[in-house]
Chain A
């Protein structure tokens, strides 16, 4: 592995830190959220105050959104929406935006990214915060059955969901439940980017979904970690955009029958998908789009993955080999 190191600042851990990769001073907030490690990095000053203040506010926003969009918190807005017996439910602007984005992702991916697979994911065993050690990826792959690309759900429940952002309502047949998944993380990055984009430089790492940019157009190294050993497979150096990584290595478990399971479902079969790909990183102008593309690429399998990565990305296969796709156009 070759990794170029030109003195870029490293992230602090566990608390707010201020590091100085002269001549730029970067405020860094690292914290646990969305079931992983998150970070906000800001350089300069802008509408939310100085870099440190902006980073702290962004962190606070991400933590608040996590509570609002968690499927596992009974008092979260998402849980209340899913449990509401009415067909049309008033929602917050953030929830309306998320539902709109989730439906857009389903449309974009022809239903491969389906936000209504809550019953299926619960049947697979994902019913609470995942805080246990995952099944070793090599073991899960060895135990998995045949590889095949995923297909859209014939039911396509997501087509029954409608959102009216102007009225602030979501309409769906009662009982159709939504899962925020990684799409919400992408949306949070996009929302924060609207403010932090006016700073010299910024990056928001929402547990793997990264949105970055800034007015100074500094190059931002985006490292892609291996799902097998956390080594850096590749470094994209980009000025602005988003990178999202989806994989089957982190949130995985063995079901009661001893079969390996994870959180990325084949909508057609309603079961965890083993397609021959274990991880995809997708680049895109916005994080929510990157999230949708990475999931669609993984679910499409080796034969169809590249078609989703028109903005660039990286595909890791079952045998630990990987392909880097040209990021031109991001």
Chain B
């Protein structure tokens, strides 16, 4: 806050409202009240503007931080959700016979995959792709190549 800050000028100076009139008479009461009210309005306006400015700055800073975190791929909610899902899936698999059957089905699907690959092997120089369905999903493909 500088000496030239308008808000400072708006603040009442002790005794300023009581300055003797040029003719030496005390100012009228209504004039004093008006000056006081005007000064208070100015102070309220300044405070309101500051509150709005600070709130806006804090909102923009927080939003910017979250935005940067998300665009860099560090979404904590995604990781947390995946962990919870995995834990629930494991708990269900351990406690229900249905889940056990599902796991067996997945295992059977894996066996089917190897069988299909076996079938493909007989094709010799033709391109091939083993296939199978898995109730528990498929992980990302990985490529093996000579290095």
Contact = CB atoms under 8 A, between A and B. Distances in A.
Interface of A: 1-4, 6, 8-11, 16-21, 23-26, 28, 34-36, 39, 41, 43-45, 50-52, 182, 200-201, 203, 205, 207-210, 212, 214-225, 227, 230, 232-239, 243-251, 279, 281, 312, 321-328, 330
Contact of B129 (A41, A51, A235): A235
Contact of B127 (A2, A11, A249): A2
Contact of B138 (A45, A221, A324): A221
Interface string B18-30: 0000000000000
Interface in B78-95: 78-79, 81-83, 85-86, 89-90
Interface of B: 73-75, 78-79, 81-83, 85-86, 89-90, 103, 106-107, 109-110, 113-115, 117-118, 120-121, 123-125, 127-132, 134, 136-147
B117 A327 contact: yes
Given A217-B110, A235-B129, A235-B130, A324 B147 contact: no
Contacts of B145: 208, 224-225, 227, 230, 245, 247, 250
B117 A39 contact: no
A223 B142 contact: yes
Q: Which of B74, B109, B115, B142 has the most chain A CB atoms inside 10 A of its CB?
A: B142
Contacts of B115: 328
Given A23-B85, A220-B139, A237 B132 contact: yes
Contact of A245 (B121, B128, B131, B146): B146
A181 to B, nearest CB: 11
Contacts of B136: 216-218
Given A51-B79, A323-B121, A35 B147 contact: yes
A279 B117 contact: no
**Interface of B (DSSP majority class):** mixed
A326 B79 contact: no
A264 B28 CA distance: 108
A220 to B, nearest CB: 5
28 contacts: A2-B127, A4-B131, A9-B139, A19-B140, A21-B138, A23-B137, A24-B82, A41-B140, A43-B139, A52-B79, A205-B144, A215-B90, A218-B134, A219-B109, A219-B113, A222-B143, A223-B143, A225-B144, A225-B145, A227-B146, A232-B143, A245-B144, A249-B146, A279-B146, A281-B144, A312-B114, A324-B128, A326-B117
Nearest to A6: B138
A323 B124 CA distance: 5
Contacts of B74: 18
A25 B138 contact: no
B79 A25 contact: yes
Given A217-B107, A218-B136, A330-B114, A237 B130 contact: yes
A20 B85 contact: no
A20 B85 CA distance: 13
Contacts of A19: 140
B125 A235 contact: no
Given A210-B144, A212-B142, A45 B83 contact: yes
Given A44-B83, A205-B144, A216-B86, 18 more contacts: A1-B127, A25-B79, A41-B140, A43-B86, A44-B82, A45-B83, A45-B86, A218-B134, A219-B132, A220-B141, A221-B138, A222-B143, A227-B146, A234-B129, A237-B113, A245-B144, A323-B121, A324-B117
